[in-house]
Structures are given as C-alpha cells and as structure tokens.
Amino acid sequence: MKYLDEFRDRATAEALIDEIGALAERIDAAARRPIQLMEVCGGHTHAIFRYGIGDLLPKRIELVHGPGCPVCVLPMGRIDDCVAIAERPEVVLATFGDAMRVPGSRKSLLQAKADGADVRTVYSPMDALALARRLPERQVVFFALGFETTMPATALTILEAARDGIENFSVFCNHVTIVPTIKAILDSPDLQIDGFLGPGHVSMVIGTAPYDFIARHYRKPLVVAGFEPLDVLQSIWMVLRQILDGRAEVENQYARVVREGGNRAALEAITTVYELREFFEWRGLGSIDHSGIRIRVSFARFDAERRFAVPGARIADPQACQCGEVLKGVIKPWQCKLFGSACTPQDPIGALMVSSEGACAAYYQYGGAGSPEDRP
Amino acid sequence: MSRITVPTVTLAHGGGGKAMKDLIDDVFVAAFDNALLAPLDDQARIALSALASHGDRLAFATDAFVVDPVFFPGGDIGTLAVCGTVNDLAVGGAVPLHLACAVIIEEGVAIETLRRVADSMAASARAAGVTIIAGDTKVVPKGACDKLFVTTTGIGVIRSGLELGAQLARPGDVVLVNGMLGDHGAAVLMARGDLALDAPIASDCAPLHGLIAGLLAAAPGTRFMRDATRGGVATVLNEIALAARVGVEIDEARTPLRETVRSMCEILGLDPLYLANEGKLVAVVPAPQADGALAALRGHALGADAAIIGRITDGPPGRVTMRTIVGGRRVVDMLVGEQLPRIC
C-alpha cells in the first residue's frame, strides 16, 4: 500500500533493531536492570503484538502495555448502566463492536442483545445519528467511549443533532482523557517506567504540549509515536537516545500527523460540548480525578445519563484481578494468577483480557498461553 | 406446469397444495432439470454401481447458508450453497456427484429473487459437474427467517488408496494456498453497505474439484486439504496444528493478499488471515512434491496466485506462528467469537 509499506520495510527494521541493541548496551550497564518503556496507547500495544516487535527487541528492553485501551478501562458499573439503558423497550443502543463483549456485573451487551435488547454495531457516531433519523419512533442511544481520538467525532455528532433538532438521539458518554491517567501512573509508588511512547492519535487532537509536565516534573522522556512497525521502532530508539543522553524531553516521531498545537477545530468541538467530571472510575486503576468528561448542561437533552435514570452503582473490580499491577508494569500479564485459567478472552474477568488492544488479550492471542519462556 | 404469476412468495406457497407445487416446478425443478430429479418422488434413487465406478468410499457432507445480503459481488446464496458443499466433498479427495437442497423462504420474498438464486445454483452445479437431485422448500412467516436460508447436502466418492487427514501433517511438510485470501469475507462485508467504504471486491466463490484433481495428480502424497471458509486460513492452520500435534509457521510476506482487501483490513482493523474464503484451500504437501503442487495449482484458473505460505515444524504442538513482514514472530491463534473491528 502506498504510504504504508515504506513504514514496514524489513531491512530498515533490522537496521533500527541493531541500533536499538547498541544503545541498550550502553545505557547504565552497571545497573543491570531491565529498561521499562510504556506504550500508553492500545493502538501501539496492538501494533507491537501484530508485528512481533517485542520478539525483535533486545531482552533488556521490556515493553509495559499501558492504560490506553478505552474498552478495557471501562468499569463494570458503567457497563451495567449501559445494559440498563439498552434493555429499555424504546431504546436502540448503537455501539462500536469492541464494546459488545465487555462484561458487566450482570451481563455484557452481547448477552443483552441475545436476551432481546436492540443493540446494533456502528462504525461511527454519525451512523448512530443516521439510525435516529431513520427510526423517529425509537430512542437511539450512542455508547460513546474512547480517548481524545474519538471525542471530537462524538462532539460533532451532538452538534449536528442539535443543529438539526433531532429529538430521539442521545449519547451515553464514557470518554476519558489521557493526561490525568498518565499522571496517576507516574504518581504510583511502585512505578518503574523509564520512558514513554506517547499516543499518536490522541496527540493528533491535543498536540504535544500537554505532555510537557512528564518531562519537566517527572523527568521522564516521552516520544509521540506513530503506529507502523518502523514508527514504533524509531520511537523506541528515540527514547533510548534520551535516556543515554540524560535528557527528558517530549519529542514527536509522528510529525507527519501530529502538530505541536493539535487540531484546533477538534479541540473547539470538544470544549463546546464537554466538561470535565470531578472523577471517573477506571477498571484496574480505581478512581482518577478529572479523568472523565461529560456532556455540558447546554446539551443536556443529548445526554443519555440525564434522559434515562441509570442505576449508577459502583461495582468493585474482581478481587483476584491484577489488571492494575499489569497496567503499571509491576507484573507481566502471565504473572497474574488468573491469566489463561480463570481469565481468558472467551470469558474475561479483568479489563485487559477484553479487547484485542488489552495487554492480556494481546499476550493470550499473539503470545500464546504456554510457558513464559516462549513469550514474545 | 403452470407458471407463477404472483410477484412474491406467500404462506400459500408453503401450504403443500397447488401453489407450492407451482413454486417448486416453475422455479426449482425448471432450473435444476436432470434425470435423477425428474421423478419428483420423496427420494432420489442412485445406482450403487454408478457410485462404485468412482472409488471405494462415499463422502457425505452438509452445510447451511444464511449469508446477508443474499446477492453480493461475485456470487449469491445459491452459488455459495453449491460451491460450499462441493468444496467440502472435494477437499476430502472425493469426486462430488450429487446434491440435495432445502430452502427456507421468508414470506414476501420476490419470486424473481428465488429464480435468480435457483439459476445460480443450477449454473454452479453445472460448473462443478454435480446434479441437484432432491430438495425441499418451506415458507415461514415474516421475521421467522431473513429472506432465504439454503441448506445443501452432497455425496461424492473417494478413489481407492487416497488417504487425506489433518493428522497426517509432518514436520518439514509445506503449506500452500491457491490464491488471494479473504476476498469472500471482504466482499460480503462491503456488500452490506453499512461501511462508508466502496471498493471493487468480488467473492472468490468457486468449485474447487478441478483444481484439486490437478493438485492430487501432481502431488499424490498430499497429506491434507481444507477449504478456508469461516475463520479463514488462520483457523485451518490451527486445526492442522492441533490434529497433527505439530507446529505451523507461516511467512507474512508470502501470504497472497489483494491490495483492496489489505487496505480494507487496515481501515477496519481486521486480520485478513481470519476472513472467510469460498474458493480457497489450504493444502499440506510433503516437501519433495511442493514444487509440483505449486505448479499444478498455478496452472489452473483458480490457482493463478497460489503460493507456498509456510511449513509444518516440530515447534510447540498446536501452535501456529507467523514471521511478520518486519521479521518479528507472533502467534496466530484461533479467533474468539466474531472478528470485531477495533475502535482506535
């Protein structure tokens, strides 16, 4: 494919891997500690597994798969609320496919659909709005989730619904914002991360400036990375280079897409439609201040939480589940007591086993469920 | 026989009376027309001697088809229903001979739709060298099925001495496919029209008996074949690895993929290895016969893009791995449930 294949060139990849190996050798050899790099975005996690990148890196480099899978981090209580909305007879619930299998405390949306709820898969919030226009006698609710990547599309859909006076459309808003979450991870006392691969698609919207505190305050290097194998490898090389030089800066490897100031139109749509919640519950990480957003009062009629009374119960994560420790890089997915036995992609307990972008599901699917020796 | 004049199927066409007889005669029997069907008894009768002339074992297979939409670029539910069962027989090494078909029709379906599907079935049967010799129709109320469900059952005969099985794969054997992967899945997904995408992708739906005959002649030691339908090539490879207690390693750079399918998968976050095919098979062949097998496949119209995509290894039993285009290695596992596009 034009403009893609050049980012998947094997010879270039091999040359980069050699250089990464050479850099890793030179970094603080005395410490003999693994170098832990966290990719924040689930898209990177997927690319790393899809292309077997972990397998190519020197053993000393450990990739920690961060909280960037928006499906995985949804707490059970929110799924329960969504199921409750979907089970109302007047409602058509429109959702992305990934969200269908996320377990709630009672059931997933897939089970709710089998039990008779009208749940439909869409590919964009605009599809959901089109559904509302087509079914004027029904209440169409879009299950919105994702980081800043998907926020603008939901916001623009709400703006269009407002402009056209669509009365039977609303949004169950579960959008979350990445920066407070990275901060929560950095504040964690058991943190071992040496550097970050920053999320490429999120940064396309918010730009690179919001990460400055990571370099300034926490003295950790961050490189905003693209999603092709060579993007990931080059970004790893750039982080290592910073570590070796003793620098902690925000660098942009994905400059072909990401601008320093982000995308102004997208940011404008976001601030018009949403405001920050005081706190939001994350599966595996607990409650994080200012990490969720909700729909502003001026757009209240498009807010499904206001339109339909939702139970809003807080459901604790399953006790034995160690998603939080995996997210922070304290343990590897297969070191969790439940991995591959009680918790599998067919029957997930922990959030990270749910979507193909979740670290545990990716290990399970692409890394196999055998012994730790043959992990990627 | 009186010709049907009403435009749509009603429950009367399933009532067992004259309307039903007209529907069967005018639509199905007229299209399938052959000597074994002609008596229109409750069963078709086949001389054992006629079967025995082809070999020493009967192959027997059935498959149900519920595709949505009924018509898609490259085929329809009729071509699918014939090719699917023909291929299930043929990959077992059988010469496919006869099919029976059962059709469940939702009331309100246009008679014209049925005619098109019956004509497709007849044309595919001719292409596959089989006859449709028995059948049944049922009409159900609106909503009890979605337009049209078709089930076909087929018999074929396996020649003496031919033994195929997934459990026969041995380390060192070579894994081949007969062409571009994922076309059918991509075409149907596209034809559903709920993606804001438009790409000229046609289903690869085709009967593979001729291609298989050529392959078996060129590579008589062939261990195993399977058509890579639902679950795609990845699923077949996993079935081989499990059945033979071997490893399978494939090379991403050598898997044949159409540019349009590759692009569609990129956009939707799908893995083409799991997309359905309806005219593609995976074959496991001993290494010394691999070149001959490849030449035989490429020499057939349905195998022009055939490729050796990997080999059987003594790696961890049951494990399928892929050398990725950048040189990494990853596991290719069975799919969990339906393949769903990722969201970001």
Contact list in A for residue B337 (CB cut-off 8 A) is: 101, 346
Q: What is the pLDDT of residue B341?
A: 37
Residues paired with B249 in a beta bridge:
B311, B321
Who has greater pLDDT, B61 or B19? B61
A-facing residues of B in 144-203 (CB < 8 A) are 194-196
Q: Which residues contact A7 (CB under 8 A, 6 or more apart)?
A: A226, A228, A229, A230, A231
Strand B148-158 and strand B94-106: the pairing is antiparallel
Query: What single DSSP character describes residue B28?
Result: I
**CA A145 – CA A96 distance, rounded (Å):** 9
Instruction: Give the start-end residues of each E strand in chain B.
Output: 57-65, 71-72, 75-76, 94-106, 131-140, 148-158, 174-177, 224-227, 247-251, 281-285, 307-313, 320-323, 329-331
Residue A239 near residue A196 (C-beta atoms within 8 A): yes
pLDDT confidence of residue A169: 98
Mean pLDDT of B39-55: 94
pLDDT at B310 over 90: yes
Residues of A in Cβ contact (< 8 Å) with B331: 365-368
Residue in B with minimal Cα distance to A122:
B194
Q: How far apart are CA B297 and CA B281, in angstroms?
A: 11
Residue B339: what pLDDT?
A: 54
A199 reaches B (C-beta below 8 A): no
Q: Domain residue spans in chain B? A: 11-158, 166-331
Query: Percent of chain B scored above 90 by pLDDT?
Result: 81
Residue B183, token pair as written in the block = 């076309």
SS3 state at A137:
coil
Residues of A in contact with B325 (CB under 8 A): 8, 10, 51, 229
pLDDT at B343 over 60: no
Q: Give the pLDDT band (50/70/90) at residue A376.
A: very low
Please report the residues numbered 291 through 320 in chain A whose beta carbons come closer than 8 angstroms to any beta carbon of chain B: none
Q: What is the pLDDT of residues B124-170, one digit of tens each?
A: 999 999 999 999 999 999 999 999 999 999 999 999 999 999 999 99
**Per-residue pLDDT for A3 more than 70?**
no
In Å, how far is B327's CA from the nearest CA of chain A?
6
Complete edge-to-edge strand list for the sheet that includes strand B307-313: B224-227, B281-285, B174-177, B307-313, B247-251, B320-323, B329-331
Q: Measure the CA–CA gap between B304 and B299, rounded to whole angstroms.
A: 7
Do B205 and B184 form a contact (C-beta atoms < 8 A)? yes
Query: Strands of A139-146's sheet, edge to edge?
Result: A118-121, A91-95, A139-146, A169-175
CA-derived radius of gyration, chain B: 21
Q: d(Cα B72, Cα B97) in Å, to the nearest integer?
A: 27
What's the whole-number mean pLDDT along residues B93-101?
98
pLDDT at A237 over 90: yes
Is residue A357 over pLDDT 90? no
B-chain residue closest to A130, CA distance? B194
pLDDT band at B344 (very low <50, low <70, confident <90, very high): very low
Choose from A17, A46, A51 for mutation: most chain B CBs within 10 A.
A51
Q: Among A33-42, A351-360, B253-262, B275-284, name the one with the lowest average pLDDT.
A: A351-360
Domain ranges of chain A: 1-61+70-313
Which residue is it, tokens 């494990």? B319
Report the range of poorest mean pLDDT among A66-80, A270-284, A293-307.
Answer: A66-80
Task: Tell me which residues of chain A, numbers 141 to 170, contact chain B at a CB-CB cutoff of 8 Å.
Answer: 145-147, 149-150
When scoring B314, B330, B340 by the number of chain A Cβ atoms within 10 A, the one with the most, hence best to mutate, is B330
The vertex-A98 CA angle with A96 and A104, nearest 5°, equals: 105
Under DSSP, is residue B268 helix (H, G, I), strand (E, B) or coil? helix
For residues A107 and A79, is the Cβ–Cβ distance under 8 A? no
Interface residue A127 vs chain B (CB under 8 A): yes
Tokens of B161: 């001495």
B-facing residues of A in 94-113 (CB < 8 A) are 96-101
Report the number of secondary-structure helices (H) and strands (E) in chain A.
Answer: 15, 13
Which residues touch A326 (CB under 8 Å, ≥6 apart)?
A65, A284, A332, A333, A336, A350, A352, A359, A360
Q: What is the pLDDT of residues A124-174, one digit of tens each?
A: 999 999 999 999 999 999 999 999 999 999 999 999 999 999 999 999 999
Torsion of CA A338, A100, A39, A198, to 10 degrees: -160
Identify which of B322, B326, B344 has the shortest CB distance to residue A43. Answer: B344
Residues 6+ apart with CB under 8 A from A189: none
Our CA-based measurement puts residue B8 at a distance from the nearest CA of chain A, in whole angstroms, of 26
Residue range B172-228, pLDDT digits in tens = 999 999 999 999 999 988 888 766 677 789 999 999 999 999 999 999 999 999 999
Spatial neighbors of B65 by CB under 8 A, at least 6 apart, are: B77, B80, B81, B84, B149, B150, B151, B152
Residues in chain A: 376
B325 min Cα distance to partner chain A (Å): 6
- Considering only CA atoms, which of B269, B277, B202 is closest in space to residue B232? B277
Confidence of residue B304 (pLDDT cuts 50, 70, 90): very high
Task: Among A51, A97, A146, select the one facing B324 at the smallest CB separation.
Answer: A51
Residue reference for tokens 């035989």: B296
Check residue A32 and give its pLDDT. Answer: 66
- Do A53 and B262 make contact, defined as CB atoms within 8 angstroms? no
Position A372 scores a pLDDT of 41
**How large a percentage of chain A has pLDDT more than 90?**
60
Average pLDDT for B75-88: 96
> Read out DSSP for A262-295?
--HHHHHHHHHHEEE-SEEEETTTEEEET-BEEE
- What superfamily does domain B11-158 belong to in CATH? PurM-like, N-terminal domain (3.30.1330.10)
In chain B, positions 325-344, which contact chain A (CB-CB < 8 Å)?
325-331, 333, 336-338, 340-344
Give the residue among A61, A44, A52, A46 at the shortest CA–CA distance from A13.
A52
Q: End-to-end distance of chain A based on CA atoms, in angstroms?
A: 27
Tell which A residues from 232 to 251 touch B, by Cβ distance under 8 Å: 233
Pick the residue of A365, A371, A373, A375 with the most B CBs within 10 A to test the interface with B by mutation.
Answer: A365
Tokens describing residue A119: 């749940």
Q: Tell me the average pLDDT across B15-34.
A: 90
Residues 6+ apart with CB under 8 A from B61: B85, B88, B89, B92, B153, B154
How many Cα atoms sit within 13 Å of A243 on the Cβ side? 26
Residues contacting residue A59 through CB under 8 Å, at least 6 positions apart: none
Residue A146: partners with Cβ closer than 8 Å, 6 or more residues away: A70, A175, A176, B343, B344
CA-to-CA distance for B79 and A269, rounded, in angstroms?
Answer: 49
Q: Which superfamily does B166-331 belong to?
A: PurM-like C-terminal domain (3.90.650.10)
**8-state DSSP, A34:** P
- At residue A373, does pLDDT exceed 50? no
In terms of pLDDT, which residue wins out, B338 or B12? B12
Mean pLDDT for all residues in chain A: 89
**Cβ separation B344–A150 shorter than 8 A:** yes
Residues A297-352: tens digit of each pLDDT: 999 999 999 999 888 888 887 788 888 888 777 888 889 989 988 888 888 887 78
CATH class of A1-61+70-313: alpha beta
Share of chain B above pLDDT 70, in %: 96
* Same fold: B11-158 with B166-331: no
- Confidence category of residue B336, pLDDT binned at 50, 70, 90: low
Structure-token match 């119960």, residue found: A313
Q: What is the mean pLDDT of chain B?
A: 93
Among residues A360, A343, A278, A364, the alpha carbon closest in space to that of A103 is found at A343
Say whether A52 and B326 touch across the interface (CB within 8 A).
Answer: yes
Query: What pLDDT digit, counting tens, does each position of A358-367 carry?
Result: 888 878 877 6
Per-residue pLDDT, averaged over B318-332, amounts to: 93
Residues of A in contact with B342 (CB under 8 A): 42-43, 46, 98, 355-357
Shortest Cα distance, chain B CAs vs residue A91, angstroms: 20
- The answer to whether the complex's ipTM is over 0.90 is no
- pLDDT, position A374: 45
Beta carbons of A70 and A146 less than 8 angstroms apart = yes
DSSP labels for A292-349? BEEE-GGGGGGBHHHHS-------PPPTT--HHHHHTTSS-GGGSTTBTTTB-SSS--
